[in-house]
């Protein structure tokens, strides 16, 4: 009996080691598969990312002058331009139509809706009402670092004007305003204002030559000064005046052109 006991124990230990190695191997394989699953995005996640990317790309083109008012395009043409399939284009266009940024024609082409006198007056009213309110709500959340960023966007506006870069001007102007508005943490109001900018943004290109040619006060600088002084009333006034000034340029260029 004594002579066989060590062999049995050795066999038992060997069997346990083998099972342990098998389990360890399986565990390693399981962890590896888990890591791969974590690293590789799901198909649904890729689809959401593509759809959102296409939407934002089209949205930026509308905001920054990529869609000329009155010029229609096909969904297939947009898909080819952006290098994607028609499906995310259709979804993005559907969202932008709901935001009143685009309009679908009977021939399945889309275009920026024409600016009418009635639509123009509503946009002016909405801007002068909502944007000063957003700015006032944002003031308490804007410190020295945020003011420096806002001032940097304003310098980009000046550089774009000096270089006659219409796209850069429109983007820097948008960044200046929304660097303030997003600090309000008023998501419903901000969504309304973003929709309004989509409706008048394309027409800024038609009035671009009027910016910087007048002797009117620089309302961007007035807004920055109000933020530095923590003067909520002055900030409201500067934002309202800036909206009124900009829309007057658009009205003169667009409505006179279409009348």
Q: How many whole angstroms separate alpha carbon 157 and alpha carbon 242? A: 14
| pTM score | 0.77
> Within a domain: residue 13?
no
Question: 198-243, pLDDT tens digit by residue?
Answer: 999 999 888 776 665 555 679 999 999 999 999 999 999 999 999 9
What CATH number should be reported for the domain holding residue 212?
Answer: 1.20.120.530
Edge-to-edge strand ranges of the sheet holding 109-111: 73-74, 109-111, 103-104
Please check whether residue 120 is in contact with residue 257, taking contact to mean a CB–CB distance below 8 angstroms: no
Quick one: average pLDDT of 16-25? Answer: 50
Residue 10, domain member (yes or no):
no
The neighbour count for residue 43, using CB atoms within 10 Å, is 8
Give residue 108's pLDDT band: very low, low, confident or very high (50, 70, 90): confident
Say yes or no: 67 and 177 in one domain.
no
Same-domain status, 185 and 77: no
* Contact between residue 135 and residue 236 where contact means Cβ atoms under 8 Å apart: yes
DSSP state at residue 111: E
Same-domain status, 155 and 96: no
> What is the spatial distance between Cα 4 and Cα 244, in angstroms, rounded to a whole number?
101
Per the structure, the complete domain to which residue 250 belongs is given by: 117-258
Last residue within a domain, chosen from 111, 126, 161:
111
- Domain shared by 206 and 238, yes or no: yes
Domain end, chosen from 58, 87, 111, is at 111
| pLDDT score of 165 more than 60 | yes
Which pLDDT does position 211 carry in this prediction? Answer: 60
């Amino acid at each position: 009996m004594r002579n066989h006991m060590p062999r049995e124990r050795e066999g038992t230990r060997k069997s346990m080691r083998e099972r342990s190695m098998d389990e360890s191997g399986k565990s390693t394989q399981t962890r590896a598969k888990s890591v791969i699953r974590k690293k590789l995005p799901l198909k649904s996640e890729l689809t959401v990312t593509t759809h959102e990317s296409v939407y934002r790309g089209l949205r930026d083109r509308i905001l920054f002058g990529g869609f000329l008012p009155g010029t229609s395009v096909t969904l297939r043409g947009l898909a080819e331009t952006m290098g994607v399939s028609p499906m995310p284009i259709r979804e993005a266009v559907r969202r932008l139509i709901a935001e009143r940024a685009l309009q679908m024609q009977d021939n399945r082409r889309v275009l920026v809706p024409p600016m009418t006198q009635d639509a123009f007056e509503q946009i002016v009213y909405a801007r002068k009402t909502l944007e000063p309110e957003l700015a006032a709500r944002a003031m308490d959340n804007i410190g020295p670092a945020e003011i420096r960023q806002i001032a940097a966007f304003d310098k980009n506006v000046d550089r774009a004007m000096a270089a006659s870069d219409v796209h850069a001007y429109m983007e820097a102007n948008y960044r200046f305003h929304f660097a303030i508005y997003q600090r309000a943490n008023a998501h419903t109001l901000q969504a309304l204002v973003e929709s309004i900018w989509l409706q008048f943004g394309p027409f800024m290109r038609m009035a671009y030559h009027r910016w910087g040619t007048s002797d009117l006060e620089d309302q961007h600088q007035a807004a920055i000064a109000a933020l530095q002084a923590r003067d909520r009333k002055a900030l409201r006034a500067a934002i309202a005046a800036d909206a009124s000034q900009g829309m007057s340029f658009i009205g003169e260029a667009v409505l006179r052109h279409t009348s």
